[in-house]
Amino acid sequence: MSSNHTRNLIGMNAVNACRLNDSTAKPASEGTFRLKLSLFDIGSAQTRWCRESGPHTR
C-alpha cells in the first residue's frame, strides 16, 4: 500500500526593503537580530483523527 503526502510550510514571513541610515546619514541596520521558529510534525504516524472527538495519540 502506498501513501502520498503533501508537505506545506505554513506560517508568515516579512521583509523590510527600506535602507536604514544612522544619525550621520551612513548606511546602518538597527537592533539585535534573532531567528526563532517552531517545527511541528503534523504528518506523524503516531497521530490519528477520531471523528467523534478530534485528534488522538495512540
SS3 24: coil
Give 1-49 pLDDT, tens digit per residue: 455 655 555 666 666 567 778 888 888 877 777 877 777 777 766 655 5
| Grid cell listed for 27 | 548606511
- 41 vs 28: CA distance, rounded Å: 39
- 25 vs 21: CA distance, rounded Å: 5
Q: What is the pTM of this model?
A: 0.25
Q: Is the pLDDT of residue 57 over 60?
A: no
How long, in residues, is the chain?
58
